[in-house]
Structure 1
């Protein structure tokens, strides 16, 4: 049987998409893929349909490094309303309870927020993409089913009250991967004794990418029409922006390309590094990333062929 030929053209790099509300992350990714006419693309961490903001899309060779974006911290701005709890934790869900919120003060919110900093445990919402026996929880929820879920550890680096007026408050959140903002707001509402749910959510940063460089769908369509869409892509190396960098040439670069661990003078003694090849006095080329072994050698882990 002949192998099915993949459609589209080779495109490499990262698009920092500003996801609009109302689209799933998968749908937004597929729309971008069609606009680029690309063979291969994947997103690096789902945003709820209600949510907007930074959704990095990895094209071609950049998909090799999407793992590091999945693992990266995220930042959000979330607007929540007190007094109403929904089954999904946001305004798209069904109301399950209502309670008075008039007793809630700014001081109380700030006090409760301290309980949700550092390492905490979260029970994923039934309306999440977490899988149970291979089935996403949200599919079970849409069938009217609820199953027990194990708590998951997450890290909340920062949760800051930005505004509070009437029944509405806004938080700025810096958190680890795997944090469910809807669950966080539901838990905060429970602790306040009023309930709460998300009415607006925006991801402002994912790893090295922030909203200042995010491209809207409108800008993407416009660039496609003007035949400059590839100019919107960031280089694959941007996925590991800020990592310690080693520069190699000649035989060492050759060995790295062929998966061999190497020694490099003045390299870090532990952790991961970005590897660049010196092409000439003015140019370098991103090769990939490597991990420092116990003996000090650098083992290539993900390399661009």
Structure 2
């Protein structure tokens, strides 16, 4: 009897923009993609609820070292809500806990209410969230019927537009800061309208540098590419520095490249006066992220290329 063939894992580096399907966890989606690409190491850049679809950047190899920076990035969403009903999870996956009549609303009224939430607002995180209370995830406590006090957090909504208002359905598009909960926003808008609301559809449409209609791939599309061959599949992998376009870039000469790659600070002409930036070697290779020291030298902070 022939022994089962051992799977070969590959040392891939870069980012795939996954269009996550509804009904699966972000970790499940990540593992599907990792197995398809046979990547040795993979991580994602912030969970989406199982109900949510849309942009989930999957980072391979050295790109996982910059995934944390994307966690702090702004995000954009499309969301639809059912007015007149509240659920225990604030979305359609939960149980209805309250029903109220929906008042007669026109577009101008709703836009006025929605406009109150643009800018910086204080949000109380939902119990069904991954935040921790005394070492335990809030959603784990919520599933046991335990509710704890959660301090409000200051978050930001850059803009919110009303895309549709029809009967009990309200659909919005928005852009927000890290830490903002769209489910909480919908609940708060529902309360402000006097009828309550919960999320029925949520789709992440952008994140950080991948904000303007990024090309995403469903898992089904990736499987079709895999059937064409590994080269066809690998062509969708974006370079690691595609996630860092918000940082200025500097290029080094050969001597400075040598020292930076060995972890030594160097003086670089025309370097930014402060902050973090992308570093490229004399051959154009992306080396990682650096920072200007008080004495003006450039120090490596997160090197991604081996010497």
Into which bin does the TM-score normalised by the smaller protein fall? Answer: over 0.9
Pairing 1:95–2:99 present: no
Give the structure 1 partner of residue 215 of structure 2. Answer: 213
Contact 1:52 1:203 in 2 (8 A): yes
Give the structure 2 partner of residue 3 of structure 1. Answer: none
Classify the secondary structure of the residue corresponding to 2:291. Answer: strand
* Displacement after TM superposition at 1:7 (Å): 7.5
CA distance in 1, matches of 2:129, 2:255: 48
Contact 2:249 2:280 in 1 (8 A): yes
Aligned residues between the structures: 296
Give the structure 1 partner of residue 270 of structure 2. Answer: 266
Contact 2:265 2:300 in 1 (8 A): yes
Classify the secondary structure of the residue corresponding to 1:77. Answer: strand
Pairing 1:239–2:223 present: no
* Higher mean C-alpha deviation, range 151-160 or range 50-59: 151-160
Q: What 5-or-longer segments of structure 1 have no aligned partner?
A: 1-5
Q: What 5-or-longer segments of structure 2 have no aligned partner?
A: 1-6
CA distance in 2, matches of 1:213, 1:261: 37
* Displacement after TM superposition at 1:129 (Å): 0.9
Q: Structure 1 runs of 4+ off > 6 angstroms? A: none
Give the structure 2 partner of residue 252 of structure 1. Answer: 256
Q: State how 1:58-207 maps to structure 2 within 5 Å.
A: 58-207=59-208
* Displacement after TM superposition at 1:174 (Å): 0.4
Contact 2:288 2:303 in 1 (8 A): yes
Classify the secondary structure of the residue corresponding to 1:209. Answer: coil
Cα displacement string for residues 140-194 of structure 1 (whole angstroms, at most 9, x for unaligned residues):
1122221111111211111111221111111111001111100110011111111
CA distance in 1, matches of 2:261, 2:214: 35
* Displacement after TM superposition at 1:49 (Å): 0.6
Query: What CA RMSD, in Å, does the superposition of the two structures yield over aligned residues?
Result: 1.5
**TM-score (ref. length: structure 2):** 0.92
Label 1:20 to 1:206 Cα distance change in 2 as closer, same or farther (>3 A). Answer: same
Give the structure 1 partner of residue 4 of structure 2. Answer: none
Cα displacement string for residues 208-261 of structure 1 (whole angstroms, at most 9, x for unaligned residues):
124541011111111222222211110111110242110002221122112222
* Displacement after TM superposition at 1:262 (Å): 2.0
Give the structure 2 partner of residue 18 of structure 1. Answer: 19
Cα displacement string for residues 20-64 of structure 1 (whole angstroms, at most 9, x for unaligned residues):
100110110011111111111101011111111000011000011
CA distance in 2, matches of 1:12, 1:223: 18
Contact 2:259 2:266 in 1 (8 A): yes
Query: Which residue of the other structure, out of 269, 277, 284, is the alignment partner of 2:281?
Result: 277
CA distance in 2, matches of 1:293, 1:188: 46
Contact 1:56 1:209 in 2 (8 A): no
Contact 2:206 2:214 in 1 (8 A): no
Classify the secondary structure of the residue corresponding to 1:218. Answer: helix
Classify the secondary structure of the residue corresponding to 1:232. Answer: coil
